[in-house]
Amino acid sequence: MNILSNWNSLIDTVVSYRKQLLDDESVTNTVESLHKCRTAIRRIQTVVWLSKKLGHEIPLIKPLKVFFSLTSDIRDLDLLINWLKGNNDSDSKILTAALLPHCALAKINAKEYLLRKIDDSYLNNLRLWATSTKEEHDINAVAKSLKIDAFLILENFKEISGEIFLSDDALLHSFRKEIKKIRYGYELLRTEGFEDLHIGFKELQDKLGAVQDAVAWKQWLKIISADESNKIKLIEEMYLKAKTELAEFLGKEFRSINKALNYDL
């Protein structure tokens, strides 16, 4: 198996969004392409992470990581603005108008970074890295290492799973990133038992993502409005609902996810 088999298609996804972001002055309707670009960057990071386990020389991906960070605000703001537009009331329109300049600034910053750091030369060098890297077929050791990584993540997460409502949101977000990396790694390796583990990790990732979205949205609304805003109260309700659903999911599914790794709790 070659974990670099989809490398060029991932780079193409980044190139596609780069072109759209640089060409479109208003940068409208980019939510879907932005999501694809961010997912591609995450998968690129996973390929590099697994390649490191195989002893390969690692390419310079810091510019992609920085760009991913810059686009986090774009993603959060785009989703929040779309949610507000769906409410279609006067309060939502006022908040949307206040958020749009922040979104525009985030996109300007992302554009500037793309122009400076993620140019054609950089992207071509990433392509060359894949062609010059030895194809690896014997990945049993990597699969075992990934399994251990997954087990350790679950063990750490288990320590706070019974206290979700008291857990630090930043810690939950860090778990989500690690779980996503593990899931992408299993997608690349396609090891035995992958399907059950993939489903469990994907659901856990989504539950954690709902919590993080509510946290990010509330932070943005607090920047532009008073704490007593009705929309902040609605998002606080969304936050509590997301944590409740996460707690319920863990209560029902945590053991089955763990067993998918052939470990017993």
- For residue range 200-243, list pLDDT tens digits in order: 888 889 999 999 999 999 999 999 886 667 888 899 999 999 99
Q: How confident is the model at residue 111 (pLDDT cuts 50, 70, 90)?
A: confident
Q: What integer is the mean pLDDT of 124-131?
A: 88
Give the per-residue pLDDT at 136.
61
Give the per-residue pLDDT at 262.
62
Q: Phi then psi for 3, rounded to 5 degrees?
A: -75, -5
Give the per-residue pLDDT at 52.
84
- For residue range 5-46, list pLDDT tens digits in order: 788 899 998 888 888 877 765 555 566 777 788 888 999 998
Give the per-residue pLDDT at 55.
80
Q: How confident is the model at residue 132 (pLDDT cuts 50, 70, 90)?
A: confident
pLDDT higher at 130 or 81: 81
- For residue range 244-254, list pLDDT tens digits in order: 998 888 877 77
Q: How confident is the model at residue 110 (pLDDT cuts 50, 70, 90)?
A: confident
On whether the CB atoms of residues 77 and 220 are closer than 8 A, the answer is yes
Half-sphere exposure of 148 (CA within 13 A, CB side): 7
Give the per-residue pLDDT at 264.
43
Q: Which of 211, 212, 260 is nearest to 240 (CA)?
A: 211
Give the per-residue pLDDT at 153.
83
How far is it, in rounded angstroms, from Cα 236 to Cα 263? 37
3-class secondary structure, 190 = coil
Q: Within a 10 A sphere around the Cβ of 15, how many other Cβ atoms? A: 17
Give the per-residue pLDDT at 24.
65
- DSSP letter (8 states) at residue 166: G
CA distances (Å), origin 81, targets 38, 86, 216, 225, 242: 19, 9, 12, 14, 19
Give the per-residue pLDDT at 159.
75
On whether the CB atoms of residues 1 and 137 are closer than 8 A, the answer is yes
- For residue range 137-183, list pLDDT tens digits in order: 567 778 888 888 888 888 877 777 777 877 889 988 998 999 888 88
CA distances (Å), origin 227, targets 5, 220, 224, 234: 49, 11, 10, 12
Give the per-residue pLDDT at 89.
86
How far is it, in rounded angstroms, from Cα 20 to Cα 36? 12
On whether the CB atoms of residues 51 and 4 are closer than 8 A, the answer is yes
Q: Which residue has the tokens 């939950």?
A: 172
Burial class (CB in 10 A: 0-12, 13-18, 19+), 111: middle
Give the per-residue pLDDT at 143.
80
Give the per-residue pLDDT at 194.
64
Give the per-residue pLDDT at 30.
61
How far is it, in rounded angstroms, from Cα 2 to Cα 137? 6
pLDDT higher at 259 or 188: 188
Give the per-residue pLDDT at 191.
62
